[in-house]
């Protein structure tokens, strides 16, 4: 089993940047494909970005393409989400997930473990 802890969220203005981190522990990090999901008030948790087990393949939902970048650092057992040009509609709780397999995986049910989430609030 893998434990996930997100950090880096906060309150920012539209156009600002933010970097989220997800620290993993408990099992070998390289075993898992990883993903970032978000849940806005009154909405379902939805995919933001996902990365394959090796880090060689990535997926981004259309609304964040060109603005967000997901990466993983095997030496630190961490994954990151660099968010640039933030918009008010990016406001949500952001969750880190771990999935067994090669990936990338873009559906929530494919993930076995989740972090507690970190709040990102973007003011216009």
Tens digits of per-residue pLDDT, 17-51?
Answer: 999 999 998 777 788 999 999 999 999 999 999 99
pLDDT per residue as tens digits for the range 71-109: 999 889 999 999 999 999 999 999 999 999 999 999 999
pLDDT at 30: 80
Query: Among residues 9, 1, 111, 122, which one has the least CA distance to residue 50?
Result: 111
**Predicted local distance difference test score (pLDDT) of residue 62:** 98
């Amino acid at each position: 089993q893998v434990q996930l802890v997100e950090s880096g969220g906060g309150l920012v203005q539209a156009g600002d940047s933010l970097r989220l981190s997800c620290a993993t522990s408990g099992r070998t990090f390289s075993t898992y494909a990883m993903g970032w999901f978000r849940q806005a008030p009154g909405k379902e948790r939805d995919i933001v970005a996902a990365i394959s087990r090796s880090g060689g393949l990535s997926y981004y939902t259309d609304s964040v393409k060109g603005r967000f970048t997901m990466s993983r650092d095997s030496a630190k057992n961490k994954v990151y989400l660099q968010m640039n040009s933030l918009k008010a509609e990016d406001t949500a709780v952001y969750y880190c997930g771990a999935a067994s397999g090669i990936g990338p995986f873009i559906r929530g049910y494919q993930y076995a473990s989740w972090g507690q989430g970190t709040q990102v609030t973007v003011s216009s």
